[in-house]
Chain A
Amino acid sequence: MTTVYVPLDTSAVAAGADAAAAAFEAAGVDVVRNGSRGMAWAEPLVEMAAGGARSRGARGEAPPTEGTRLAYRNIAAADVPALIAQGEEHPKCLGKVAEIDYLRDQTRAVFDRAGQDAPLALAKTTVLHDCLGRDPQALIAEIEISGLRGRGGAGFPAHIKWRTVFDTPAEQKYVVCNADEGDSGTFADRLLMEGDPYRLIEGMTIAGLATGATKGYVYLRSEYPIAAGVFQAALDHAYRERLLGADILGSSRAFDLDLFIGAGAYICGEETSLLESLEGKRGEIRAKPPVPAVSGLFGQPTLVHNAISVAAVPAIMQRGGDWYASLGLGRSTGTMAFQLAGNIQRGGLVEVPFGITLDELVHGYGGGTRSGRPVRTVQIGGPLGAYLKPAEFGTKLTYEDMAGLGAGIGHGGIVVFDDSVDLARQARYAFAFCELESCGKCTPCRLGAVRGKETVDALLRARAEGRATEQNLTIIEDLCEVMETASLCQMGGMTPIPVTSAMERFPEDFQP
């Protein structure tokens, strides 16, 4: 019996995967709901063994290995009868999964399993058993050798956090996973939790074993209901299989993991705000120091990591910190899950070693704009990220090279805009978003965002009426300086980045 794989991922469901799956079932074909391969542009991306559904019934036939399945792009329910009848002759056939250039050229350490099978059918552990028998110091040393840095945006060396939590004495320590993926242009956390939740569960457990934390929480945003469902099912299953709980795999080591859903607040992606929220309070940020690794959840030592940082841990433990460190460039080691978004022809997740260029991502993988017009700018690193010019697209994507441009990689989101974009309007949006999402604790952010938005509005009026804008620009520059230097956290501190990067690189948009 041939099986078809129809993703249950949000990006597939939003493009009609449920109807396609129902059509296959109605036609008598077995349907497996797998995770997404990350080729958002091709969703629903349906996979089927070569020979099509006609070959079913060949008893004793070995199941085709997942890489040799044929992939079909953008399959709607209406395509199903023809797809079943024509198999690889179907015009939407992309060939074998493993040979699709978009996937073939990636180096996946985190997303290697996503999409291969139903999320709960994927291997539940790779190295947990080994890690249970290893000394915590050895686990932390492995992370240090790997050079892993936080994937949430700051790029802070992971091992320093791990060692700090380990070294800080406390009755109770915690590991908290930040999956409050609010940056526009990013969807890696979602893809992981919908496609390979055990990767995250295993990474969290290993982090707990290494740091001495026996309780963990995954903080997921409420805008991701499908991720919540898949992850909760995986958690329940992991408890039944004794991968979590008081006696992990019979080792008498304990780690409990719980899912916590946010309530719609971008600021809760900031780690101290997230901890406040997880304690059930308003998500107002805390002043640092103390850092969470010393005093985090309920004042206890807490390892806070982005989901993708945690999910890199099993691969590092399995293949070695040396292997991970051999990928990437300089101090930007390992792979980064870039996400191509916005006005792009082939948007999706591209996990590759650091050092790739924006050109290779935007024009190579991405195929340029969806509209067919020239690329004018990309915003990299979410709403607090810089707008860059095409002339800068040859820069290698590493933490250091991006810092050299006054930009950051953030969580890896790359939003492409064509030449119809108005950068003054984008600057206004940066302030407006900060106004909407500021927690209100510090004045530069709370009031700066409002004044910034009002001043860009005044500038837009002046521009439309053909009047000079210099005065407005001076005020905006002043405001940005205050916000950048005096805000308590990165929300206020980095909102100036999209604004000033737009003003510096596209000054013509701010003139009459």
Chain B
Amino acid sequence: MTELDNAREIASRNRERVGGVLRALREIVAAQGHVGREQEHVVADVFNLSRAEVRGIVSFYHDLKTTPRPPVEVRVCQAEACQAVGSRELTKRIENHLGLRLGEANDAVGLDAVYCLGLCAQGPSMMVNGRPVARADLPDLAEAIPR
């Protein structure tokens, strides 16, 4: 099944559900890593929305990525509870280590900000490929990122 067929199948399956458009877009991102323009058009078609409406939804939500994602995603919490225990310094160390700034990606790794993982008593925290890490530091990246 092509990615567009897959997107159509996902959209059709969510068509009658409450919040179906957003459910479908989330599912497409989960399955394909991002939602491209063509996928947006498929969703617009299935839900009988204009392409602009779907674009509007996609552009609103941080999770709905519109470009392909690298295999490893690192999200470092930037919110107050983590700031109080050195998240700004940790972020700098990670940026230097990876050679990326927050919001940037290379072929192997994407580095992003996240605003709270609910680990506010155990900061600084981050999430590496969906795995939460408390009291995070550089060594926690080692196993996820092949050097």
> A residues touching B (Cβ–Cβ < 8 Å)?
10-11, 13-15, 40-41, 43, 181-187, 190, 217, 222-226, 258, 260-266, 277-284, 297, 339-344, 347-348, 370-371, 379, 383, 413, 415-418, 421, 426, 429, 433, 436-437, 439
A14-B125, A43-B134 given; name 9 further pairs at CB < 8 Å.
Answer: A262-B63, A264-B64, A265-B60, A280-B19, A281-B22, A341-B123, A342-B85, A343-B85, A418-B84
Q: How many inter-chain residue pairs (CB < 8 Å) link A and B? A: 156
CB distance from B7 to the nearest CB of A (A): 16
Inter-chain contact A344/B121, CB cutoff 8 Å: yes
Inter-chain contact A279/B18, CB cutoff 8 Å: yes
Inter-chain contact B62/A263, CB cutoff 8 Å: yes
Inter-chain contact A370/B132, CB cutoff 8 Å: no
Inter-chain contact B122/A266, CB cutoff 8 Å: no
Tally of B interface residues using CB under 8 Å: 40
CB distance from B46 to the nearest CB of A (A): 12
Q: Which residues of B contact A371 (CB under 8 A)?
A: 85
Inter-chain contact A348/B116, CB cutoff 8 Å: no
From DSSP, what is the main secondary structure of chain B's interface residues? loop
Inter-chain contact A184/B81, CB cutoff 8 Å: yes
Q: Say yes or no: A348-B115 contact (C-beta < 8 A), given A222-B26, A281-B57, A429-B80.
A: no
CB distance from B16 to the nearest CB of A (A): 12
- B60-88 toward A: CB 8 Å interface, digit per residue (1/0)? 11111000000000000001111111000
Closest residue to A266 on the B side, CB-wise?
B115
Inter-chain contact B21/A280, CB cutoff 8 Å: yes
Closest residue to A267 on the B side, CB-wise?
B60
Q: Say yes or no: A263-B21 contact (C-beta < 8 A), given A339-B120, A370-B85, A383-B79.
A: no
CB distance from A86 to the nearest CB of B (A): 25
Inter-chain contact B117/A10, CB cutoff 8 Å: yes
Inter-chain contact A15/B115, CB cutoff 8 Å: no
Q: Which residues of B contact A40 (CB under 8 A)?
A: 119, 121-122
Among the listed A10, A265, A279, A281, which residue makes an inter-chain contact with B119, where contact means beta carbons less than 8 Å apart? Answer: A10
Q: Which residues of A contact B20 (CB under 8 A)?
A: 280
Q: Which residues of B contact A281 (CB under 8 A)?
A: 21-22, 57
Inter-chain contact B81/A182, CB cutoff 8 Å: no
CB distance from B110 to the nearest CB of A (A): 14
Among the listed A183, A264, A347, A439, which residue makes an inter-chain contact with B121, where contact means beta carbons less than 8 Å apart? Answer: A347
Q: Is B56 an interface residue (CB 8 A)?
A: yes
Q: Which residues of A contact B19 (CB under 8 A)?
A: 260, 277-280
Closest residue to B116 on the A side, CB-wise?
A184
A258 to B79 Cα, complex, angstroms: 29
Among the listed A43, A183, A265, A421, which residue makes an inter-chain contact with B62, where contact means beta carbons less than 8 Å apart? Answer: A265
Q: Is B4 an interface residue (CB 8 A)?
A: no
Q: Is B133 an interface residue (CB 8 A)?
A: yes
A439 to B22 Cα, complex, angstroms: 16
Instruction: Identify which of B80, B82, B85, B114 gathers the most chain A CB atoms within 10 Å of its CB.
Output: B80
